[in-house]
A and B are shown apart, each in its own frame.
Chain A
Amino acid sequence: MLETENLKLFEYQVLNGTITTYINIPYEGSIEELAHVLILNEKLPKYMAKDLIKSLSQFIEKHTIILEDEHITKLLLNGKESTDFEDVTKEWEKLIKEEMAEYGEQRCASDEELFATAYHKMVHSRALETMLQLEHMYAKIVRKRCEEKNRQINDMSEKQTLEMNKALEHLEEDMAEMKINQLVSQQFEDQSFLQIQLTSELDTIKEAQRREYREWLMQMLEENQANSSLPTPNSPLSPPPIPIPAMMPYTDNSINPILEESFTIHLGSQLKQMHNIRILSSNVMDLCAIIDSECSEPMPQTLQTALNLYSNDLHGLVLMADNIIGSRAIKEFKDICQSSTEFHFNNIEDQLDKIISLQNEFKRSKGTADQRKSTKHLQPGDFYMTKHSNLSQSHVIFHIIVDDSVKCNDINSRHPVVLGLRNILKVACSNDVTSLTIPLLLNYEMTEEMTISWCEKRAELVFKCIKGFMIEMASWGGSDLKNLQFMLPQGISSEVFQSLTEMLPRIFKVSNPLILT
């Protein structure tokens, strides 16, 4: 912070003349040192130091006070003349109320926080298993209904197709074009009606589940607190059926074997900060979707997710989106979110609606002054965030806006999407997201232009940029990124995978194994 220059001429009588120097008021250094510098520069005898110091301090003190007084006296005189201190009082009052807990509004913990505390407490108690069972069963019910819904809609579509085909066959004969149109609109209406009806049914179920679940949880907490010991929690649903002998969930690994490799790296030249890095190739939606198994046991990953939900170790995932919030580009993701009840946060549609209105509000507040070419949509590099409790391995999703330019071969570190990643890391670091999954190629799908050299070039760029951001992050004073996953598209060839994993130790410093002797 640069104070305005305010130089004052200091004059000092010596035997054969006057020495002069300019001193910036207020002077912040040591007066003694200043005196000795003067003695050195002006070749004065050393015995003068004492006297010089004295006159220097007097000079500086005098001018500091003059400077101070000038300003304050003006203020006070103006104050004396005015009779009304409304503006200045309001300004202080506002600041004090906004910033100081004593004078701020007394605020009770919100429902959200209360539920969060309750859930966090219960999930770290013996009730954990029952809670997960219950969530699992709720999810199964919803999933069944979803399937039912899809089936009904499919049925209707098929029926309608048949109907339409029949109608078209008769077009020449007795069906007028108008009648066909009528049929089309009729069918569309039926379809929409069914869709709405089923969706609303589903929403009702979810709402009921959510209410039931939250009430049950709070009640359980109360019981626990009353008894202080932990009774075996009772689930409001009928006891789970006898577990079917454990069967390996069916996943098709034979076609696309999961490729993954882990590293422990360190950053920093003297003090070394450790991080875990993993490269894997898989379908990114596997980090979201809870695999639907007939098995009555919930997936182990959900356990981890539930335990960390209200902790300071959140899991984040970067997904690609286009510039319209909640567009079809993220439909698959939205479907996964909808396939079970969200017990903690607003459902995905509501969250997205809120973000849209937030964006509109921001645009309005910025008005026309904004220089951005098109404020209507988001720009590449912007990202919106949604939070979830019903995904398999992620709590927070960063939907980063990308456009076709990421497909180019020659993007550099100033590309908006790369800078967006930097912002993601920053937000992650200041909001306790300590595990993060990033698309290494800035793409989750294999496309034609992704040749081996394209992939290598892209991976190198992302590795290097992320490394730079991580080093930068160390000074931000947030939480450390403990686990970083680089995701490659499913079906990437093992040669490319290998060449990329070989590249990593060249860019990041891989820690030496600790050998115990």
Chain B
Amino acid sequence: MYNKEETLRKLLKQDEYNFGAITFFAKLHKGDTCGSNGLPLTPNSIIIYGQAQSLKTFTSPYLCQYLDIIRGKHERTVVVSQYCGKPLSESIGKSQFQVNDIKRIAFQIITALDILHKKDIVHRNLSTENILLQHDGNIKLFNYGLYHMTCNGKLVSFPILQLIYTAPEVYLAGPNATKSSCRSDIWSLGMILVELVLDQPLWANLKLGQRIRKVLSMIHSNTSVFERIAREHNCFEVYENLDGGLKEFIENCLTVMTKDRPHSKDLVNKNIFNEFSAANQQPRSKVIKEFKTFTIADFYHWWQLAGGDVLQELKKQGLIRSSPPILSMPSLVLLDGSILGQERNPMTLYDPRVALMPLEALYDRLKDVTVTEFYPLFHCNSKIIKNSETNKYDIDLPLIIREKNTEYQFQRIIIFRRLLHSYPYGIDFLISAAEIDIPPWLRGEIWAAILRIKGDYENEYLLIDKETPTNTDRQIEVDIPRCHQYNEFLSSAEGHRKLKRILKAWVHKNSQYVYWQGLDSLTAPFLFLNFNNEALAFACLSSFVPKYLHKFFLKDNSTVIQEYLAKFSQLIAFHDPVLANHLYEINFIPELFAIPWFLTMFSHVFPLHKILHLWDKLLLGDSSFPLHIGLSVLTQLRARLLSSGFNECILLFSDLPEVDIEKCVKLSLETYKNTPKSITTRLHQNEEYYPITKDFNISDISTRELNKERCARISTTDVVKLINDLKDNIVIVDIRNPTQYNGCASEKSINIPFSSVKFGEVGIESLGLHGNMLCNNTEKNVVVVGSEDTDLTLFPKFLLECNVHRVCVLHGGFDSLLAAKPSISFVYHDRNNVH
């Protein structure tokens, strides 16, 4: 028996899974300025938002992981990051460290700095306050990205520095200087080590200005800076007796002339660190990524689902204080935008305090999680075991509710983490799990798996030229600042840059295609989901387009679009003859409204959160699924369409009204499942994904012919399938003349001779008994079977006009049915009569 409490504690309640938040305000844009493109400037908080995203990808034992960036009202930014252990400053003066401990700390800091410097990030904020000492004696740097995310401090009004740790050249350069050198951080490291060695805070009793002067005075020092500081603190003996290696290291760090100060990459390989660096190198497989059941980022996600609210917590802990806005109104505003009489709100000053987030609510939510949920079974032959793991969550609940349920998402994420780790092995498991639903947290990776992204997509992306100017650049530049700009990712400067690169890469890679407006919207969901993985976003786009939008981006795409829209019209007629007839009568053809729908797979007409739910299902379907989505959108607006004329319809669709996306998805799935495949099969669909088999082949129809036919054609294979299907949902209407019919006919067919129908008058009654039956039909597929000498458009059209549901025409007529003889049975009325 295992102790449940104990196991859960080990799995969940680890010290590492703690996080905190800091908050600050971005600088406001002065007055009324516009960007070079004439559009309003992006607020600085959004630029920070985009700039900070890449920090989330840094994982190192010596760095606190960044978890989230949140934009509050009025340019507030909140940064959530791992926070565990105690600040190093709390250990100073307690004789806590031996020389070896200090060396190890030095090694870990320099390793962390090296990671940052390799990515061209300057810390600028290094101090004993934001180095966190863990229980095991290791350290983690905290808040190392502030200088980077604020574009080297340009986007905030407060200075990013730590008084006594900041290097003299930073002070000398003044507050408005350009990016500091990486080697300024090395100086800060030196100062921190001095503090550790002397075991006391430096210049503790000096005032603000004096401390700055103190740091600046170091540049006059002709002897060792370290020695001088030691003497000033009456610790010369400590200095003298210090381990030689460490002393040299510190003195290296505290080199006054920046050009002579070593870089982190030189320091990290110093001999004094040999023992640590050896211990640090664990053998790792190059092929298999390290697997973690879940990450701190997942943990943070669950915490949010369990009701965790960072802003609320910051308010509770006094880091967000607000005074009533009416007390700080300006009193005079001039036409040029100058605002007078508004005092600086003291609440907007930079306060470096960290608010730790309480985790009790999450622990409480997850207290009933069983250990087996951490380690789910996938391959299992034993039915007993399988059944014992019945799902305790109701998957029939609305998706929105499931997505917000902590326990459910916990279970889903654990499952998908495993499936993604084994990918591409076990893709079928992944697909069937994705058919239930896709946890939003892992959507980016899951989509990539469903799109079968494999291999070295990163390198492929690297090889593409995304910089050289081309003649589509101008259009791309125009489109990007208009693409889903309500979203912070896509409106940030970083988002614009990435979107441009992906689009240029796509244009470069697909020389057979051209850039059509709408490609930007199509890329948006992929970029949104893989903001920190441009290459993956590109790979997804590159795999999505041939699957769903094959040939749509040809320079002359009219035939492809024409066929698509014709199929769309036929699908409407198949499922909803009343609506189809109405739209036909007022001449409101799909060409007028549906092109942007299909060209962008609805990503131009819906907001991102709706596109994500829609595409969750789209990606699991084939290229006909979008037609069903289109149909379901029309169905939702059916009542309004039926009561509107041409002008109202145009107006209605010029800005698509709100559509209930869950309803839309449900309906599309329904029609998708109960529509015979050949109804929506297109000539121009990608053969690579959808091989056109001989039976499916309805390829000898030109688009012109297709446009004339209001009812879809169905393939023999589908008809055979329907006939043999136990559900009995087919009515075969044989319109050959009675002689032919009586000669030989399909068993379940009825005969309405073409010649007997009076097409002049629209009225199903004229068909007699059969007519009634057809009229009441909503479920069954009405397959019209003719022969070469019967007109195959007039009669189906007649049925359609009589509002008969699910009318389709057998491609190839009776002869093709006859060819499938052994699998279906025929009757010979004549012979029966004879007998």
Contact = CB atoms under 8 A, between A and B. Distances in A.
A2 B625 CA distance: 47
B657 interface: yes
Contact of B485 (A351, A419, A475): A475
A387 B326 contact: yes
Given A97-B208, A384-B331, A475-B491, A116 B323 contact: yes
A93 B208 contact: yes
Contacts, number: 229
A458 interface: no
B351 to A, nearest CB: 4
A92 B169 contact: no
Interface in B489-536: 491
A380 B336 CA distance: 11
A92 B324 contact: no
Contacts of A514: 658
A512 B209 contact: no
B351 A430 contact: no
Given A92-B175, A101-B349, A113-B327, 15 more contacts: A33-B466, A95-B159, A100-B159, A354-B331, A355-B341, A358-B331, A358-B341, A359-B332, A380-B335, A382-B333, A431-B330, A474-B486, A475-B46, A477-B73, A512-B658
A383 interface: yes
A271 B208 contact: no
Contacts of A387: 326, 329
A180 to B, nearest CB: 46
A427 B339 contact: yes
Contact of A95 (B40, B175, B340, B466): B175
Nearest to A38: B465
B756 to A, nearest CB: 42
Contacts of A416: 335
B383 interface: no
A73 B657 contact: no
The 6 closest A-B pairs by CB, nearest first: A99-B158, A381-B335, A310-B324, A271-B607, A432-B325, A101-B351
Given A36-B463, A96-B159, A385-B333, A269 B655 contact: yes
Given A351-B331, A420-B335, A40 B465 contact: yes
B674 to A, nearest CB: 22
Contacts of B451: none
B439 to A, nearest CB: 23
Nearest to A432: B325
B38 interface: no
- Most chain A CB within 10 A, of B256, B330, B335, B462, is at B335
A104 B159 CA distance: 13
B329 A36 contact: no
A385 B175 contact: no
A475 B606 CA distance: 19
Given A92-B212, A423-B337, A270 B607 contact: yes
Contacts of A419: 335
Interface stretch (B3-11, B213-221, B804-812): B213-221
B340 A477 contact: no
Contacts of B546: none
21 contacts: A3-B178, A37-B465, A37-B468, A41-B465, A68-B181, A72-B259, A79-B172, A90-B209, A96-B159, A101-B349, A104-B349, A113-B324, A116-B323, A270-B606, A355-B331, A355-B341, A362-B332, A423-B337, A426-B337, A477-B71, A512-B658
A395 interface: yes
Interface string B48-77: 000000000000000000000001011100
A29 B334 CA distance: 42
B346 A104 contact: yes
Nearest to B339: A427
Interface in A294-319: 309-312, 314
A79 B220 CA distance: 8
Contacts of A40: 465
Contacts of B256: 76
B657 A512 contact: yes
B352 interface: yes
Interface of B: 40, 42-43, 45-46, 71, 73-75, 151, 154, 157-159, 163, 168-169, 171-175, 178-179, 181, 208-209, 212-213, 216-217, 219-220, 256-259, 322-335, 337-341, 344, 346, 349-352, 462-468, 484-487, 491, 604-608, 640, 655, 657-658
A91 B175 contact: yes
Contact of B219 (A26, A80, A423): A80
A63 to B, nearest CB: 14
Given A30-B462, A476-B43, A270 B168 contact: no
A478 interface: yes
A379 B335 CA distance: 8
B466 A88 contact: no
A85 B213 contact: yes
A130 interface: no
A405 to B, nearest CB: 14
Contacts of A270: 484, 486, 604-608
A101 B157 CA distance: 13
Given A32-B462, A101-B349, A383 B208 contact: no
Contacts of A431: 325, 328-330
Contact of B171 (A37, A88, A432): A88
A509 B325 contact: no
Nearest to A268: B486
B349 A99 contact: yes
A103 interface: yes
B73 A478 contact: yes
A477 B46 contact: yes
A69 interface: yes
Contacts of B323: 113, 116
Interface string A3-14: 100000000000
